[in-house]
Amino acid sequence: MSNSKLENVEMADESIDKKKRKLPSKPENKHEPPKLNDKKLFYSEENEVLERDVIEDGKIHKEVVMQLTSIMDKVNKIKCQPGDLTEAQEDEIEALKIDGIMQFISLRKLNRLGHFRCKCVREITQDAKQNIDDHHLKLQNLIYEAMHLQREISKCLQFKSKDEDISLISVQEFLNSVDPEIAKNLIKEGDSHKLMLARLDWELKKRLELSTKLTDSEAKRKAIVNEIESKRRYLKALQPKLAAILESTKPVEQDLNLTFSETLTQQKLASSLPSPLYFLFVQAYSFSKACDKNMVVSIHGDVELAQSFHASPALIEEDSDSEDEQAEKKTKKHRRMTIDAKQLRKQQQVMSKHPLSVVVEIKCQDMGMIKLTFTYYTVLNITAVRADVDLCAKFNSSGDSKMEVDDANSPATFESSSHDLFSSLSFLQCLYDVDDDGIESPDPNNLFILNKYGISDLPSHIEGTERPYKWVQRLCGLHTLTTSSSSSLTPRTASDDDANDDVITPSTSSTNSCSSNIKNDHVSRTSYIEKMVILMRRRMKQRCHLFQQLYRLEKINNNTSECARTFNELLQPYKQKIICRLVEWKPLSYQEYVNLPQNQHIVSLDLASNKDFYFMGLLEREATNKNLPSSGSTNQKVTLKFCILIGSDYPVTPPLFSFLIQWKDMKRMATNDEAVREMECVVNTQMTTASDVLISQIVGMCSCFDVYLETGGVVERCAGANVGEDGQEDGPDKSASDTLLDENYTCLVDSQKTFLRIAKGPTRSKPFKFNNQLGFYTHY
């Protein structure tokens, strides 16, 4: 073991000696030191890298690594031996360390050479890449230059000369217009370029000639314009003089009853009217001048506002985006208020009407005047009308003041239950058609507009008492689709008192061809004006006649001598002897009429509506039969409470009566008494031919009531009569047909009329028909 260690130490000493011998000796002075600017000083190692072989360096690197590995193994073996290291072993380890350090120096040099090689390779790669990029950039520049040249070539190929934009005459026209010799030479040469130059020269020559003519024409035009301007100034200065002359002639026009100035003013205003009102104005004005001197047509309203008024359905638009953005910034409460304000503003736009209106004043002889105001709603494209009735002095209660009916809110100055007869709503509704009440829009297209903007009740959004009746649309030339098959405005006429009126009714035939309708369109429209005037005067006459009847009935409002005298005056024209008396008369509302029991059969048939007039009266007759049992009250009366329904088209539809007869606790109506039902039938159907329909029906009702009582319509047990077998007395509800021949029963009143027969037929009908010649009552 010790021998081996000695051998290792000797080998280490020998290796150290060898390395020491390998160390370079000090340089001799015979070589000069390198200078600082000598490149070999700085690049000697780089040059060595270029001179050395990479493969050889790899082999050297492998050998150095193997030597290092062996050195490390030797050191490890020495240190792993048991016991302490001897001095020889420490010397050996020290020698191995020196040898390992030398190997590390070699390895470090190889590593540095490898880094130099990588650096060189990267520089070479970078130079190659830079060269490639340079070539690629040159190629890109060449491509762009080629594309630019291509575009320039395309522009050159697509170049249009100015001569192509010049409108030239055709070649044949050019050849025909130039000198024949020149044309022949051009054709013979066949050079298109020369031909084009010749055409351009000829075009230039012609255009110079036209330019000269244009200059001369412009000079003439300026002279004419100056002359026109001077004449315009003269006419402008003449206008005030003409106005002064017209103003000075007004007294002469008034003395001669001329309307030249008024006509001129109305014609100027007519130019600002919308089409429907203009159509109405022209037709009505022409008719008043040609056929009716008692009819005055005029235009009212703000002319300046009308000239700047251009409303149309396009005005109703959705809010702009800016308004929506502002609305989004507000709170929810403010947003709701904004939405309501927008909705109200849109509704106001929908219901906007034109500032001008056409007023037609129709004078009715000895009755008063009807003032019709026609307005036009621009967005809905409909026309509406309002009526103001001015009655003459004889239609008042005292005879010393004038009655005026302006509208429904200011009915009349006289205290009368008939004040609604002349209000605008009741006066104009059902003029042509019973369903034409003006509540709904006559144009079905408006339903979508009204629903869109939340207008469910059209009359509540219309100012005043204007209503868009269907007949008004036809008067103004507005044609709309209707739900009914008949769209003609055929007025409904009464049978007697209106038979003599000249009403031109349109043809009832509905099979006319379209061409004939177009041919007669102007004639039919002009006839609408005449029909409207006739119907207005007829309605005025009917309402005045009805008012006179109602006014006479109003005086009978209590059981006094004055009322009795008034009632006798009503009965004076009639030959019948009336015993009962009218003691009460008052108007009713629609709701009051519906709630009364005797009217339920009329309400169930939908014969009553809120556009009709309702009245109630009370008839009384004393029970004068001496055989009646005595009671606590000496004045026993049978009453007839009657209700009257007067339609808005009176007297076309006669008044409708309903009865309720009361005696003590007994109540007889049409629903529980056949005789009362028959009495209603007679009054409502058999007494409607007289001129005063309402008075005639009331007189007939009084006569029927007397007949009803005198023929045992209501009976009562006689005084001291025997009690029935059942021990009960027959009350007043016992049927008269069963008790009239019974000696225990008697009528309530003494008979003062002559009857051929008291009852007839299985229904025991009563003799309600009066024979004027013979003076007795018979059956119908």
**pLDDT tens per residue across span 652-709:** 889 999 999 988 888 889 888 888 999 999 998 887 776 778 888 888 899 898 888 8
Same domain, 696 and 733: yes
User: How much is the pLDDT for 230?
Assistant: 93
Same domain, 477 and 588: no
C-alpha 578, offset from chain centre: 61
pLDDT for residue 224 is more than 90: yes
- The arithmetic mean of pLDDT across residues 733-739, rounded, is 48
Q: Bin 422: left if φ > 0, else alpha if -120 < ψ < 50, else beta.
A: alpha
Same domain, 750 and 616: yes
- SS3 assignment, position 217: helix
* Token code pair at residue 203: 């075009």
User: How much is the pLDDT for 409?
Assistant: 38
User: How much is the pLDDT for 411?
Assistant: 35
pTM listed for this prediction: 0.59
- The arithmetic mean of pLDDT across residues 274-299, rounded, is 89
Structural domain includes residue 554: no
User: How much is the pLDDT for 27?
Assistant: 45
pLDDT, one tens digit per residue, over 29-69 is 444 555 545 555 555 677 777 778 888 888 988 998 999 99
User: How much is the pLDDT for 575?
Assistant: 74
Of 170 and 264, the structure prediction assigns the larger pLDDT to 170
- The arithmetic mean of pLDDT across residues 106-111, rounded, is 88
Element (H, E) at 717: strand 715-717
- SS3 assignment, position 337: helix
User: How much is the pLDDT for 635?
Assistant: 60
pLDDT for residue 247 is more than 70: yes
Least confident among 136-145, 729-738, 741-750, 752-761: 729-738
**DSSP secondary structure letters along 141-155:** HHHHHHHHHHHHHHH
User: How much is the pLDDT for 22?
Assistant: 41
pLDDT for residue 183 is more than 50: yes
* Token code pair at residue 764: 């025991």
The DSSP bridge pattern shows strands 382-391 and 368-377 to be antiparallel
Domain boundary among 142, 161, 192: 142
Q: How far is it, in rounded angstroms, from Cα 386 to Cα 467? A: 7
Same domain, 468 and 491: yes
pLDDT for residue 421 is more than 90: no
> Among residues of the chain, what percentage have pLDDT more than 70?
73
Same domain, 575 and 704: yes
Domain boundary among 89, 118, 142: 142
User: How much is the pLDDT for 337?
Assistant: 54
Structural domain includes residue 551: no
**DSSP secondary structure letters along 497-513:** TTTTS---PPP------
Structural domain includes residue 205: no
Same domain, 464 and 419: yes
Structural domain includes residue 76: yes
User: How much is the pLDDT for 594?
Assistant: 92
pLDDT, one tens digit per residue, over 603-637 is 999 888 888 899 999 998 887 766 666 654 456 88
What are the helix (H) ranges across 159-259?
162-165, 171-177, 180-189, 192-248, 250-256
* Token code pair at residue 645: 């329904």
Same domain, 50 and 137: yes
How far CA 146 is from CA of 35, 150, 152, 155, 158, in Å, comes to 56, 6, 10, 14, 18
Same domain, 615 and 687: yes
What are the helix (H) ranges across 520-571?
521-554, 561-571
- The arithmetic mean of pLDDT across residues 179-204, rounded, is 82
pLDDT for residue 731 is more than 60: no
Q: Which of 633, 635, 760, 744 is nearest to 707 (CA)?
A: 760
Structural domain includes residue 178: no
- The arithmetic mean of pLDDT across residues 478-503, rounded, is 50
Highest mean pLDDT among 129-138, 426-435, 509-518: 129-138
Answer whether 416's CB lies under 8 Å from 519's CB.
Answer: no
* Token code pair at residue 580: 């009962």
Predicted confidence band at 157 (pLDDT cuts at 50, 70, 90)? confident
User: How much is the pLDDT for 745?
Assistant: 64
Element (H, E) at 95: helix 87-158
| Domain span at 94 | 2-18+37-142
pLDDT for residue 197 is more than 60: yes
Domain boundary among 75, 107, 142: 142
Query: Which position has the token pair 């509506």?
Result: 609
User: How much is the pLDDT for 742?
Assistant: 53
Same domain, 611 and 520: no
Is the peptide bond between 506 and the residue preceding it cis, with omega within 30 degrees of 0? no
- The arithmetic mean of pLDDT across residues 547-576, rounded, is 73
Least confident among 13-27, 543-557, 602-616: 13-27
What b/e string do you get for 724-758 counting C-beta neighbours within 10 Å, with b at 16 or more? eeeeeebeeebebeebbeeeebbbbbeeebebeeb
* Token code pair at residue 748: 């309530």
pLDDT, one tens digit per residue, over 707-724 is 888 887 776 666 555 544
Answer whether 358's CB lies under 8 Å from 374's CB.
Answer: yes
Same domain, 772 and 662: yes
Overall domain count for the chain: 3
Same domain, 383 and 434: yes
- The arithmetic mean of pLDDT across residues 145-159, rounded, is 91
Least confident among 98-112, 543-557, 625-639: 625-639
Same domain, 522 and 598: no
Q: In whole angstroms, how large is the CA radius of gyration of the chain?
A: 62
Structural domain includes residue 283: yes
User: How much is the pLDDT for 729?
Assistant: 44
Predicted confidence band at 442 (pLDDT cuts at 50, 70, 90)? confident
Structural domain includes residue 488: yes
Structural domain includes residue 29: no
